Amino acid sequence: MIARSQVAVIGSGIGGLATALALAMQGASVRVFEQAPRIAEVGAGLQITPNGARVLDWLGLGDALDAKGLRAEAVVPMDGLTGRAVTRFDLSRQSPPYRFVARPDLIDMLATACRHRGVEIVLDHRAEALPEADLVVGADGIRSVTRGLLNGDATPQFTGQVAWRATIASAAPPEARIWMLPRRHIVTYPLSSGLLNIVAVQERSAWADEGWHHADDPAHLRDAFPDACGALQKLLMQVEHPHLWGLFQHPVAPVWVTDRVALVGDAAHPTLPFLAQGANLALEDAAVLARQLALHGLADGLPRYQAARRARVTRAIAAASANAANYHLGGPRRVAAHLGLRALGRIAPDAFIGRMNWLYGFDATA
């Protein structure tokens, strides 16, 4: 149904490359247009949760992911003021495994697989209008031109939160630590290269630009965490080149498809990073879009794709937005929340993973 169709994909991020690969595997002839002069192998770590890993397995990238990714053993909520673990939730029995991956590695494995499948990647080409093709996939990220063409302009709302991302050389066990402090939190996890990925979030009124390329002074990051425990202070002292980005709430795009256009990933549904789902939802989009088009063709497949995705991504985005409030508690509510987490970890250690089953257990390729 999609075989032999001409497909133009705008954007070579994870959403664009995964969709290009999935459609090429269905026999489509695919070109990817990327505005950057080279494939943007920038960025720090990503958490590939089982729902995203299932798509990568389906795309034939399971072994490459195993080679480059690090299997996560646990998620550990930490008291960022004392440095003590509040509890520990086991991830080691997830199937497929939950992994920590460097974004450049994931981009590289997707781009390599695309080229092997005959996908043409055209660099240094910024799309301002829809290219000629049977199908145009708008995978152009948070500032999507394609979303604007389908939906008009929407003004994102500053959430009152900014985030720094950085990597440092540091050995750490294969677990995601969530260091919780009043009005702030820091997530750390190791990558297979021996680096530790750090994302630090602060509530503040002064907003920062939304984007992935804004370098900041490491002193600003350290100044935001003067009361952090010694272990965190030590990590922050090692940060040399942090990037800062402002966290904005975008509405899910009302229109994702026309008779020859589909939006995927952040272009359709930007999410806050507090559930680690930006890349995973983009991977799910790629699989669902390719399968709907293979089964139903363009005319029926495109609306079915949007219908299949909207409720799920809306739920994931709401869950991500709620997490920051839980991490940032202060005063008596913080004490009560930590006691509750500790009790949950003792009495029902699998309850956390059970509660995440709707997210991690989903199979977009089924």
Could you list the residues that contact ligand FAD (CB under 6 A)? 10-16, 33-36, 40, 42-44, 46, 103, 126-127, 139-142, 145, 165, 212, 265-267, 273, 278-279, 282
**DSSP assignments along 295-346, one per residue:** HHHHHHHHHHHHHHHHHHHHHHHHHHHHHHHHHT--HHHHHHHHHHHHHHHH
303 phi, psi to nearest 5 deg: -65, -35
Shortest CB 138 distance to ligand FAD, Å: 9
Q: Which is nearer to ligand FAD, 170 or 344 (CB)?
A: 170
Report, in Å, the least distance between residue 132 CB and ligand FAD: 15
Residue 298 CB, shortest distance to ligand FAD, in Å, is 21
At which residue do the structure tokens 């940032």 appear?
328
Residue 62 or 131 with smaller CB distance to ligand FAD = 131
Cβ-proximal residues to 164 (8 Å cutoff; 6+ apart), any chain: 198, 199, 200, 216, 220, 221, 239, 242, 243, 244
**Contact at 8 Å (CB) between 226 and 192?**
no
Q: Which is nearer to ligand FAD, 120 or 350 (CB)?
A: 120
DSSP 260-302: SEEE-GGGT----GGGS-HHHHHHHHHHHHHHHHHHHHHHHHH
* Nearest approach, Cβ of residue 144 and ligand FAD (Å): 7
Peptide bond into 332 cis (omega under 30): no
Nearer to ligand FAD, 103 or 185 (CB): 103
SS3 201: strand
**Residues 26, 124 contacting (CB under 8 angstroms):** no
- Please report how close the Cβ of residue 360 comes to ligand FAD at its closest, in angstroms: 17
Q: Which is nearer to ligand FAD, 54 or 338 (CB)?
A: 54
Tell me whether residue 86 or residue 113 sits nearer to ligand FAD (CB atom): 113
User: CB-wise, 94 or 277, nearer to ligand FAD?
Assistant: 277
Minimum Å gap between C-beta 81 and ligand FAD is 26
Shorter beta-carbon distance to ligand FAD: residue 43 or 345? 43
H or E segment and range at residue 104: helix 103-116
As measured in angstroms, the least distance from the Cβ of 95 to ligand FAD is 23
Q: How far apart are CA 360 and CA 120, in angstroms?
A: 32
Show the CA angle centred on residue 141, arms to residues 294 and 206, nearest 5°. 155
CB of 359 to ligand FAD, least distance (A): 16
Secondary structure of 132-159 as H, E, C letters:
CCCEEEECCCCCCHHHHHHHCCCCCEEE
DSSP letter assigned to residue 257: B
